[in-house]
Structure 1
Amino acid sequence: MQNNKIKKVKIKNLEFDVVLADNFIKRAFGLMLRDIGDKAMLFLYKRRKIAMHTFFMLYPIDVVFIDKDKVVEAVRLKPWKSYKCKNYSTAMLEFKCRDVNLDELIGEKVEFIR
């Protein structure tokens, strides 16, 4: 999947305007110490198992890991936690917790809208 200025991401009944983590600073800080409202942050990378943390986060987040345009893993994390994805992925979507059963997203197709 290429960046090509992705503007939205849709998964099942969820739709987000996205902020691309497309440079070193955005990738390093992610959502730490900031609030992007109802948007989501999209990280694109080479296929691997991602390790991440929620240090300095202001709120709990949902994190969706994507590979081959499908959700391969999803987790809800409170601030000050760390997590290592169990599956390989090429993208990660972070957003404020939603009233959604994350387990139901596993295997769902992800649509990237430019």
Structure 2
Amino acid sequence: MRAIKTLVVFLGVLLLAGLGLLGYGLYSKAPVKGTPSATSGAMATASAAEFGQLAVPVPAGSRVEQMVVAGERVVLRLSGGGSERILVLDPGQGKVAGGFVLTPEPAVR
């Protein structure tokens, strides 16, 4: 019986230590109020001087319909000037990471 009590106390201490370490890990990774997050801080340090001016090829007559920041990438949705396009930009590298041309499927009869 004494061994079971010792085991229960030992496992309780391990459980509390694990919860304490989990709480510390979450607390240390949480952004501090009033300071920019790590992602926006990294984006702010990537200035135009680091990679110069990026020329993004778009069809004539296109316009930006939507711009979304996804992680370390910027996604642009373009319309007009032909088919709709989605461009993925990498500001850290200063280049176009990729793109998609949205084309309609042929009608199935």
More strand by share: 1
Q: Bigger radius of gyration, 1 or 2? A: 2
Say yes or no: TM over 0.5: no
TM-score, normalised relative to structure 2: 0.25
Highest RCO, 1 vs 2 (Cα 8 Å, sep ≥ 6): 1
More helix by share: 2
TM-score, normalised relative to structure 1: 0.24
